[in-house]
Structure 1
Amino acid sequence: MTQDRKVEVVKKETPFQGYFRVDRYHLRHSQFQGGMGNVVSREIFERGHAAGIIPYDPVRDEVVLIEQFRPGAFAAGDPDPWMIEVVAGIVDEGETPEDVARRESVEEAGVILDNLHPIGRFYMTPGGSSESITLFVGQCDASKAGGIHGLDEEGEDIRVFTEPFDTAHRMVLNNRINNAMTAMAVLLLASCRETLRKEWA
């Protein structure tokens, strides 16, 4: 934050604490035309930070994707709340995003990653959530990917499949992939794909 930009927290409450947490902030902040604004109250969904990984086979030019039911899409009224996604997981205390990338690739997709290439860190819904997601491309052997994965104790039922990169790219462009994190991962992979194929193949 630059020196002339300030945020003053007047009060902070936690009205809900469950698997996730909701904090209520009463705050005011610097205004573009100068001075401080009025106090505003905002609820923030606090779910921690996450890592997302698109496993990529540079030899076969294929990506590994997953599909699973998402209650948020169901609650939004989506007629098909099974989302096509990249592998992802929450960063627990003491872990790095890289740790999560490797762990979740095994748990959710059954693939072991070799090299990891970071492609960005993003806030997905900063108007109402503190969550950030660090995205990676992970080198893998896509010939070994497939089947149903996930942890029973977490209620996961995850279908794993592979697609040629060009097909996955078209799926983003025609909105067949409508999960924002996954779309970003595919589009960012497009920007570095040829370089990674030379380095990893």
Structure 2
Amino acid sequence: MTRLPNHPPLPGQDSPTRVEMTENDFRHRGFMDFSVMRLRHERFAGGMTPMIERDVCYRSYAVAIVLYDPKADLLVMVEQFRVGAFAAGVNPWMLEFVAGMVKPGENAADVAVREAQEEAGCVPYNVRLIYSMLPSPGGCTEIVEIFAGLVDSTGIGGIHGVEEEVEDIRVHLVPAERAIALMDENRVPSGFTLLGLSWFARHREALRR
């Protein structure tokens, strides 16, 4: 089951639809699963490609949430260690929006609210879905649903996280103008956070009203 709409890239445009997979050989199973897939697919000009081999990373669904206090004009953001950034040679302590994994059978919006409580100590209201996205569609199955919610930031701060998950999360109250400036200065490398900030910059005034 997918959480993304299956529609062509442009409205009213037809795209190829045929894919033939002959093998999906799982080489590793763990927090993320990895397989080597052999397939061929339909070409734009007709006919099929030769058989191709691709590595695929299988990762669970995730959520993120843009937490905004319209009265104080502050975004609630978190800072934590990210092993992927460390492996890439990037500063692994990253400024992000609250995020978390969705377990089978869970409602994504409920998970976003729960993660806001666990990671930032706040309870958002007027929560709504703003985007569904694939962070790395060239080789990873992960789908992230990005939500937005309003909060009262009074008293929010400190260090949070679930001890059993070895979470060490510091909460920041970031003025809206500063957060947008950080994005424009190329200082927010987290993909879902960039996408959420881009949406927020366009909708900030409407949220304040």
Q: TM-score, normalised by structure 1?
A: 0.93
Matched, 1:106 2:117: yes
Q: How does 1:168-187 map to 2 (within 5 A)?
A: 168-187=179-198
Q: Is 2:74 the counterpart of 1:65?
A: no
Contact 1:111 1:144 survives alignment (8 Å)? no
Residues matched between the structures, number: 197
- In the other structure, the counterpart of 1:146 is 157
Secondary structure, aligned partner of 2:154:
helix
CA contact (8 A) 2:16 2:44 kept: no
- Map of 1:1-201 to 2, 5 A cutoff? 4-78=16-90, 80-198=91-209
Distance in 1 (alpha carbons) for counterparts of 2:110 and 2:17: 34
- Looking at structure 2, the residues matched to 35 and 107 of structure 1 have their Cα atoms a distance apart, in angstroms, of 51
Instruction: Tell me which stretches of 4 or more aligned residues in structure 1 moved more than 6 Å.
Output: none
CA contact (8 A) 2:125 2:151 kept: yes
Is this contact kept in 1: 2:15–2:44, CA < 8 A? Answer: no
**What letter is aligned with 1:90?**
M
Measured after TM superposition, the shift of residue 117 of structure 1 is 2.5
- Which SS does the other structure have where 1:126 is aligned? coil
Aligned-partner Cα distance in 1 for 2:105–2:59: 16
Long gaps (5+) in structure 2: 1-5, 7-13
Tell me, what secondary structure is at the counterpart of 1:144?
A: coil
Distance 2:159 2:198 in 1: 26
Letter matched to residue 37 of structure 2: Y
CA distance in 2, matches of 1:12, 1:21: 12
Q: Deviations over 1:58-112 (max 9, x none)?
A: 111110000011111111112x211111001111111121011111001111110
Deviations 1:104-149 (A, max 9, x none): 0011111101111221111110011011111111111112321001
Which amino acid is the alignment partner of residue 193 of structure 1? R
Query: Post-superposition shift, 1:20?
Result: 1.4
Q: Following the alignment from structure 2 to structure 1, what is the Cα–Cα distance between the partners of residues 153 and 40?
A: 50
Q: Aligned partners of 1:84 and 1:190: how far apart in 2?
A: 17
Partners of 2:200 and 2:107 lie apart in 1 by: 21
TM-score under structure 2 normalisation? Answer: 0.90
CA–CA distance in structure 2, aligned partners of residues 105 and 46 of structure 1: 25
Cα deviation, residue 3, structure 1: 7.7
